[in-house]
Structure 1
Amino acid sequence: MSIRNLDKLLNPASVAVAGASDRPGSVGTTVWQQLLGAGFAGPVYAINRHHEQLNGQPVYARAEDLPSAPDLAVICTPPDSVAGLITEFGRRGTRAAIVMTAGLTSAQRSAMLEAARPWLLRVLGPNCLGLMSPHLRLNASFAHTDALAGEIAFISQSGALVTAMLDWAKSREIGFSHLVSLGEHADVDFGDLLDHLASDAGTRAILLYIESIEAPRKFISAARAAARNKPVIVVKAGRAGHGVQAAASHTRAMAASDVVFDAAIRRAGMLRVDRLQELFTAAATLAHLRDSAGSVLTIMTNGGGAGVLAADAAALAKVPMHGLDDAMLARLDAKLPATWSRANPIDIIGDAPIQRYVDTLQALIDDPDSGTILFMHAPTAIVRSEDIATACAPLAGAARHRMMACWLGGDSVIRARETFNAAGLADYETPEEAVQACAMLASYRHNQALLEQVPSASEGPPPRLADARRVIDRALAEGREMLDETEAKAVLQAYGVPVVETRAVGLEAAEVLAAAAAIGYPLALKLRSPDIVHKSDCGAVALDLADEASLLRARLAMLAQVSGAMPAARLTGFSVQSMASRPHASELIIGASVDPMFGPIVLFGEGGTAVEVLADRAIGLPPLNRVLAGDMVARTRVARRLAGYRDHAPARLDAISDVLIAVGQMAADLPELAELDINPLWADEEGVLALDARIRLDARGPAGMAHFAILPYPAKLAETVDWRGEALLLRPIRPEDGPAHKAFVCKLEVEDLRLRFFSSRRELPASQQARLVQIDYAREMAFIAMRSEVDGSSTVLGVVRAVTDPDNEAAEFAIIVRSDLKGLGLGRILMDKLLRFLAAQGTRKLECDVLRENEPMLRLARHLGMEQVASLSGGGALHFRKLLHP
């Protein structure tokens, strides 16, 4: 990932066009004319060996002939010339290029990138439409029209969708900070642009049209960082793509790639929409409504039917409607006729004069609990729509960040719509579209809330990795891909998953009877075979066997049925299993598989033999915690049953969450884990119990931490150190440390808080607290020093953290120790840990900002050999730097 020189691409001070021409219809002519016509203020140079002048400006034969090095080069020349031009521009000092040329061969594409590499020259394209930065009046594209300036960035893999977005937005007076066509994204990609735009003050929201992702971990890291700062909305092509046709597990069969993409978007805190029209709707919503708009909806309308349509749409989209309280009812009773609806939607009746609109709207705006207000109007012959708009626009405009408008009709409401648009109000063609926009905001808020919630810690001992490895290594040594049921359950037990008692025996009746006697009746009998994946499909399972006679009959019938149906199947024995009885338990499935793009994934849903038919499932990207696991459960239909009903007590959701977390940990610890099913997993008020399990191995190791889209917790970095004769645990911070970290911050002295956070607030906002413990290990690190107390608890004594830039060029660090422990060497221990980590990561330099009066920190910086390089904030803070690698 890299943001190097992207400022030269998106905010250039000068531009050169290689291939500028006056030949009608050529890309070079179009780009040159549009660059000049947009009014870009900086120097614009033309390069073409066959011209001396274009539009009264000199034309240069080569980049080296230019009077100065352009920040940005736009290349519109044949494929065989691209690499040479990149070399010329790089040598001249240019650091960004847009390659609009299409048809580059693989060799020409590689030559282009090799030519750019020595100069760190960034390449957008090839085969792209170009880009626009309207605030600079920069149109370096061959789009058919300019864009209005605004605060929304749009990045698209499709040039056609850029032009479609331009047309649509211009008709609604929606502006953009940047529009970028990625083309083949040989160099600059979604991750790079997300990283750059996340800190771009001129961009308030980011829209993405995605067809494919080549670097998923880079994309997810960049998306998580960007989505914490501003809304990121995604539409992706390929939702209806074909799923996996055949798989060894139900999990693999149900985890289609598009469902996994949904999970990735949700995990990153972004919002996905299904269609291009919804992306346009999202653009309009983000351009007008702030994400602070209310989470409930209040509808005012002059037509009952329109109100019912909007309310129905809200119910289907699960957008909550605001309930009118007694005070609001009384206020509206005083202004509206007796026949008004006295409910939400607020029907002010079709004969409403202008004042009735004004009074109703004022009442709703005055009540912050009314949330988002949808103003709806159908034209009548009683009052002109434009007169209503003129009267209401000042009120609505003052509250525009929580206002939506829907003027129903065509020509008769055009001027009314224009009046509201001029007041900065979001406008929608239909009630359903307006409600859909509310639902989008609600989904976005939900995804953001997941980023801010601090989970509780899972219960139970750490996994017995050595026990699981023995089972897997034995199977691999024997050349087996599938574990039998007892082996799979042994792996689950090693990770703390409760399993029903099961014994593996041979095919002989005596062995089956001996196992049954040891376990006790009633029993389940299952035939073991490496060639049988789904046992119930071929009669290889018998349940509720009450005695020896029924057990022996089941054994014989099973052997006969399977031998007849699958004569080539290798039969290795039976599994004899206790027939557990938990009559109120729900049957669930929890599983894991490996997605080709995003790596290991975890599945949850309703289990049983019809699991694929029911298709009630949610997908999550590990690593998981209790908050994320609980959200997966909540997204399924079976969640309502788990909440309890009639005489069924609620199931223990924490126990279900802990199994999901454990399965995610297995995918991290066991690289050979290709597919896993726990089906059924019983869940009730007592907890969970795994009745059956299936594990498929792959010796190539498709799982493991290296293939995670989100880097898991790096437990291997934990170490115990001696501090003044006391053992301290130094380890990376994790989300479950939220309560302990909050307690640590609350005990700091006010002055220490001010010196560390540049603020003396003792209670940090919940979002900031969450941000301190929920970190992206791919680009930041925080180590905590913990002491074990006599009561078994642990106390945080100090924290050091570093955030690296996307290029891993520089890391900014901060450190704080408990106020009563300053000056005792703990800070140096923490800094030594951090420096060793950064050196191993290849980070080039370490930086920090220190208030002038923070003497202990100044001493530490100098002890570390850091050099003061600048003063910040008008001299209030000093900036220090230390080179870690030359």
Structure 2
Amino acid sequence: MSIYALEAVFAPKSVAVVGASPRPGSVGRTVVHNLRQAGFAGAVGLVNPKYRQIEGVPAVASLRDLPFAPELVVVTTPAATVPGVIAQAVAVGARAAVVVSAGLGQGPGSLLEHLRSEARPHGLRIVGPNCLGVMAPHVGLNASFAARSPLPGDLALVSQSGAIAAGLVEWGAARSIGFSAVVSLGDALDVDFGDLLDWFAQDPKTRAILLYIESIRDARKFMSAARAAARSKPVVVIKSGRHEQGARAAATHTGALAGSDAVYDAAFRRAGLLRVHALDELFAAAETLGHLRQAPGRRLAILTNGGGIGVLAVDRLVDLGGTLATLDPATVRALDKVLPPTWSRSNPVDIVGDADAARYTAALEALLQDPGNDAVLVMNVPTALSSSVEAAAAVSRVLQRRPRPGTGKPVLGVWLGGGQEALSRLDAAGIPTYATEADAVRGFTYLVRHREAQQALMETPPSLPEDFVVDTAGAQAIVARALEQGRGWLDPLEVVALLEAYGIPVTPAWLAADAGVAAEAARPLLEAGKLVALKILSPDIIHKSDVDGVRLNLSSEAAVREAAASILARARELRPKARIEGVTVHPMVARSKARELIAGLAHDPTFGPVVVFGRGGTAVEVIDDKALALPPLDLRLAHDLISRTRVSRILKAYRDVPAADERAVALVLVKLAQLAADVPQIRELDINPLLADREGVIAVDARVAIAPHPGPAQKGPWHSSFVIRPYPKEWERMVELAQDRRMFVRPVRPEDEQMFLEFFSRVSDEDLRLRFFSAVRHFSHEFIARLTQLDYARSIALVAIDPDNGGMLGAVRLLADANYERGEYGIMVRSDLKGLGIGWQLMRIMIEWAGSIGLKAVDGQVLRENVTMLAMCQQLGFKVTPDREDPTVMDVTLDVATTNAAGG
């Protein structure tokens, strides 16, 4: 239900605790104590029929007996009583409940299902059950049984584990790290990661979001919410529970390479999340994000009074992919004037063991002014020759002289043995401190990785080539015929036809039932001067090398006949129960300087299809050089996938080997992603090897596993098994306008950035003000990217294009909530083209889209003076009412089902 009623969880006006107790050590007593100690200012009611008062606060027998209707109900009673308590909460008008109680079971007939049936029909939000609770320090709310209340801050923590949440609260208190909210999800009956990502993404008190994940149930909802949240603020995630059972059971190389944890990693990367792998890393990420807000690049300057620790920091920086900054010559000259002759004169800047406060001040000021670095790591090793506290105070004073706290280059600190006073000085200046140089460098890389993730989310991908043409119907027919015959694998001839349907170069194949037919099939190839390869053909032998089922470089008919007989005999000997259909005949591919790659598809039970790429060959699992990505892919994403493998290095030119055509490799990956969308019956696809050289690519061997498509396993208004909605091509259409004109309407694509810039140049200042409610003239890359980089799962932007000259005529946008109940629209038409019906037609198509994804209502806000838009809304059936908070604005609402049913 997305963020519906979550304000009652994080900012309730009143709270009731059902199961409140005076018994020492009980959950009910701990919750009451925490609620009172946190300073909650609203009304608090205690419910327990056994007591008339608890800790001096009156108690009542039931929620109905409270003198007020609580917005939030905290439930700590035994499992069997919980559904009844929730029924009471609904009856008294509560909007949300935190169910701490455990033991409600799972599945049909369980107490959990009973709880769901009591809450969901009435819109009562449930956090839990089986959870630690909820803490919102800014409103003095601690509805949990944690041992400590968190400090107020701007980090939101969402955890499936109550123990992890409680541990982070303790850690934060010790390090002066505060939280905007802490939520323990428990069994996540209702409120889940997607809901909370949506909530904290728009929460002004939250600057960064921390997630502890054990598993994800609704992958589509999670990915949609995560991608939206990551565009606006850092999201750090730790995932526990690495499962390899799926990989062990896979039949193809690509399936074996795509382990569960690797798929989660690909999903987090695609969503723009910053993943860490251990709790100490999550702590370090929280320490960094709790103080710092940006890192413009990878170049780190290191300032230290100890050379050894500086070298260790450099080693760790290189290990983690950072860049050691080069000192600008002007900086070296400036440091020469203030440092002793024995200083290092390079980065790390070693200011020698007797460095005092003045030396730290001068060196840090010089590094902050140096354009050659993006951040500074300041370290101190205690010596008898200087004071660590005074050095910390000096560093703090430099930063406190900045115009505004948190501005300028990030500065990180390591004060070994400096004591609490030194750390407090640094903390007061907003400098995150770390126990070791390795932790500090890792903290710096978190800032870098977050910035790069943001850039990736905002990048404009290159357009696909004009010749990107696929035969979808042909591919679907191939798979459908095989399924009708009850087969789980395509035969080699079908595999060749399938790849050819998607324009993937592949070596041809001919079927030969015996040695004689093999020789006949090979004859034309041999006469053309080509060598021949033979491979065993059996639906029961997946890996041909297991039965010595491949022969290469055959140069005569006799050699072919002998090799075919040997392959067949060997296969029957080693696999007597296997169905042997013969051999396949192929021309040898002579590309001596080609690289062996693997490319394919695997299927993950949580995230659906996954594209796999890496180093190919028979030892592919042993080499384990692979990277994964969730489809759909564009060329930018495909190139990124390639770059995350070691084999990408040898795709470049080296020695006498020319560079391979990496774009051709990337295009294969994009086509495989499209194939997964068009033919969801493909469960695994394995091209190994895919040869790549300067001439392009060619698939030498491939296997395809198929199965009937069970239908969409994910929630969402589309039928693909993708968790990220592909480009909705079916919404492209030609529309007639007034004055015998036409427009082509299609969903916005990422490569439309330049077209939007040109469009805005032809919109008047007045129209821009009416659309954006303020004067707008500068349109940054980030602004346009937000208009063109769409998550089609929850938002759509339809652009109208002149079919004659390709110019943009207008666009309409619709953003749906995560539960697909309501959507908010916005529209703009080029100022010189009003009166042609462009806006009217775009609005009609937008309303049609809203109905297709099941929205109940479409909302919008229109300036009262924008009489043209208000009149159009009324004609389309919108209800127009004054906004309650802003007299200059009118709210417009459309009942989608009624409008579409009436053909409006």
| Pairwise CA distance, 1:760 | 5.5
- Contact preservation (8 Å) 1:671, 1:701: no
Query: 2:513·2:582 contact (CA, 8 Å) conserved in 1?
Result: yes
- Is contact 1:152–1:175 with CA below 8 Å preserved after alignment? yes
What's 2:284 paired with? 281
Q: How does 1:31-180 map to 2 (within 5 A)?
A: 31-106=31-106, 107-180=110-183
What SS class does the counterpart of residue 231 from structure 2 fall into?
A: helix
Aligned counterpart for 1:485 among listed residues 473, 488, 492: 492
Whole-angstrom distance in 1 between the partners of 2:79 and 2:373: 59
Aligned match of 1:517 in 502, 519, 524? 524
1:651 Cα shift? 2.1
Task: Note if contact 1:69-1:93 (Cα within 8 Å) is conserved in structure 2.
Answer: yes
Q: How far apart are the structure 2 equivalents of 1:806 and 1:198?
A: 13
1:523, 1:846 → 2: CA distance?
Answer: 63
| Aligned counterpart in structure 1 of residue 610 of structure 2, from 601, 605, 608 | 601
Tell me the distance in 2 between the aligned counterparts of 1:122 and 1:873: 26
CA drift of 1:224 comes to 0.9
8 Å CA contact retained: 2:525, 2:587? no
Structure 1 residue 439 corresponds to structure 2 residue 445: yes
AA aligned to 2:461 is P
Paired residues of 2:295 and 2:447 also in contact (CA < 8 A)? no
Aligned to 2:784: 769
Question: What secondary structure is seen at the aligned counterpart in 1 of 2:392?
Answer: helix
Is the partner of 2:618 in helix, strand or coil? coil
Alignment equivalent of 1:373, drawn from 358, 376, 386: 376
Distance 1:28 1:496 in 2: 65
Distance change (3 Å), C-alpha of 1:622 and 1:7 = same
* 1:435 maps to amino acid: V
Q: Is the 8 A contact 2:538 2:579 kept in 1?
A: yes
Match of 1:349 among 348, 352, 355: 352
Could you list the per-position Cα deviations for residues 824-861 of structure 1 after superposition, in whole angstroms to 9, with x for gaps in the alignment? Answer: 11111111111111123222222223344545433432
Q: Which moved more, 1:853-862 or 1:274-283?
A: 853-862
Q: Where do residues 351-500 of structure 1 align in structure 2 (5 Å cutoff)?
A: 351-398=354-401, 401=406, 402-410=409-417, 412-459=418-465, 460-500=467-507
TM-score (ref. length: structure 2): 0.94
- TM-fit CA distance, 1:876: 4.8
Match of 2:902 in 1: none
Cα distance, 1:664 vs structure 2:
1.0
Against the structure 1 CA distance between its residues 187 and 308, is the aligned structure 2 distance closer, same or farther, given a 3 Å change threshold?
same
Specify whether residues 102 and 700 from structure 1 end up closer, same or farther in structure 2 by C-alpha distance, changes over 3 A only: same
Which shifted more, 516-525 or 420-429? 516-525
Distance 1:128 1:857 in 2: 48
Q: What code does the residue aligned with 1:866 have?
A: F
Change (3 A) 1:79 1:513: same
Q: Aligned partner of 1:187: which letter?
A: D
Q: 1:839 aligns with which of 818, 834, 851?
A: 851
Asked if 2 retains the 8 angstrom alpha-carbon contact of 1:677 and 1:693, the reply is yes
For the residue of structure 1 that corresponds to 2:597, the secondary structure is: strand
Supply the distance in 2 between the matched residues of 1:479 and 1:365 (Cα, whole angstroms).
69
2: CA distance between counterparts of 1:527 and 1:145? 67
1:441-464 deviation digits (Å, cap 9, x = unpaired) = 222222222211111122224311
Between 417-426 and 555-564, the greater mean CA deviation after superposition: 555-564
Deviates more, 1:707-716 or 1:146-155: 707-716
Q: Which deviations, in whole Å up to 9, do the C-alpha atoms of 1:446-505 show, x marking residues without a partner? A: 222221111112222431111112211221122111111221121111111111233233
Aligned mates of 2:499, 2:766 — CA distance in 1: 50
Q: Is the 8 A contact 1:3 1:807 kept in 2?
A: no
| Change in CA separation of 1:646 and 1:769 when aligned onto 2, cut-off 3 Å | farther
In the alignment, does 2:643 pair up with 1:628? no
| Contact 1:705/1:712, CA 8 A, preserved across alignment | no
Whole-Å separation in 2 of the counterparts to 1:441 and 1:305: 25
The partner residue of 1:796 within 808, 813, 820 is 808
Superposed CA deviations along residues 57-79 of structure 1, whole A, max 9, x for unmatched, are: 22111111111111111111111
Q: How many angstroms apart in 2 are the aligned matches of 1:103 and 1:871?
A: 46
Deviation of 1:383 after TM superposition, in Å, equals 1.4
Instruction: State the shift of 1:761 in Å.
Output: 4.9
Q: Distance in 2 between matches of 1:387 and 1:700?
A: 68
Q: Who is 2:755 aligned against?
A: 740
Report if the CA contact (8 A) 1:63-1:89 is conserved.
yes
SS of equivalent residue, structure 1 residue 245 = helix
2:186 to 183, 186, 200: 183
For 1:213-241, what per-residue CA distance to the aligned partner results, in whole angstroms no more than 9, with x for missing partners? 11111111111111111111111111365
Change (3 A) 1:293 1:637: same
Q: What is the number of equivalent residue pairs in this alignment?
A: 882
Identify the residue that residue 901 of structure 2 maps to in structure 1. Answer: none
> Displacement, 1:174?
0.5
Bigger mean CA offset, 26-35 vs 250-259 = 26-35
| Deviation >6 Å, runs of 4+ | none
Inter-CA distance 445–392: structure 2 relative to 1 (3 Å threshold): closer
User: Structure 1 length normalisation: TM-score?
Assistant: 0.96
> What is the CA distance between 1:358 and its match in structure 2?
0.9
Partner of 2:715: none
Does residue 819 in structure 1 map to residue 831 in structure 2? yes
Question: SS at 2:212's partner residue?
Answer: strand
Deviation of the 1:749 alpha carbon: 4.1
Q: Is the 8 A contact 1:720 1:729 kept in 2?
A: yes
Matching residue of 1:663: 672
Shift of 1:705: 4.4
Cα offset, 1:199, TM superposition: 0.6
Corresponding residue SS for 1:98: strand
2:600 counterpart SS class: strand
**Over aligned residues, Cα RMSD in angstroms?**
2.1
Give the distance between the partners of 1:291 and 1:379, measured in 2 at CA: 29
441-450 or 92-101, larger mean C-alpha shift: 441-450
Retained in 1: the 8 A contact 2:357–2:394? yes
Give the residue type in structure 2 aligned to 1:714: P
Give 2:126's aligned amino acid: V
Report the Cα distance in structure 1 between the residues aligned to 2:606 and 2:414, rounded to whole angstroms. 44
- Structure 1 residues 405 and 734, CA, compared in 2 at 3 Å: closer, same or farther? closer
| Identical residues among aligned pairs (%) | 45
Contact 1:95 1:119 in 2 (8 A): no
Distance change (3 Å), C-alpha of 1:625 and 1:501: same
Contact 1:397–1:425 (8 Å) recurs in 2: no
- Superposed displacement of residue 398, structure 1: 4.4
Match of 1:591 in 2: 600
Pairs within 5 Å for 1:122-271: 122-239=125-242, 241-242=244-245, 244-271=247-274
Task: Look up the equivalent residue of 2:734 and give its one-letter code.
Answer: T
Structure 2 unpaired stretches of 5+: 713-717, 899-904
Distance (Å, rounded) in 2 between the aligned partners of 1:240 and 1:169: 30
1:643 maps to which residue? 652
248-257 vs 685-694, which moves further: 685-694
C-alpha distance in 2 between matches for 1:675 and 1:95: 46
SS of equivalent to 1:334: helix
Are 2:521 and 2:585, in contact at CA under 8 Å, matched by a contact in 1? Answer: no
Are 1:524 and 1:543, in contact at CA under 8 Å, matched by a contact in 2?
Answer: yes
The match for 2:736 among 694, 700, 722 is 722
Superposed, 1:497-646 pairs within 5 Å as: 497-517=504-524, 520=528, 521-646=530-655
- Deviations along 1:560-614, whole A, 9 cap, x unmatched? 3223222332221322222222222211111101101111111011111111111
Alpha carbons 1:464, 1:494 under 8 Å: kept? yes
- The letter of the residue matching 1:221 is S
Shift of 1:94: 0.5
Cα distance, 1:874 vs structure 2: 5.4
Is the alpha carbon distance of 1:685 and 1:856 closer, same or farther for their aligned partners in structure 2, counting shifts above 3 Å? farther
Of residues 665, 673, 679 in structure 1, which corresponds to 2:688?
679
What are the residue-to-residue correspondences of 1:332-347 with 2, within 5 Å?
332-347=335-350
Taking the aligned partners of 1:534 and 1:129, their CA distance within structure 2 comes to 50
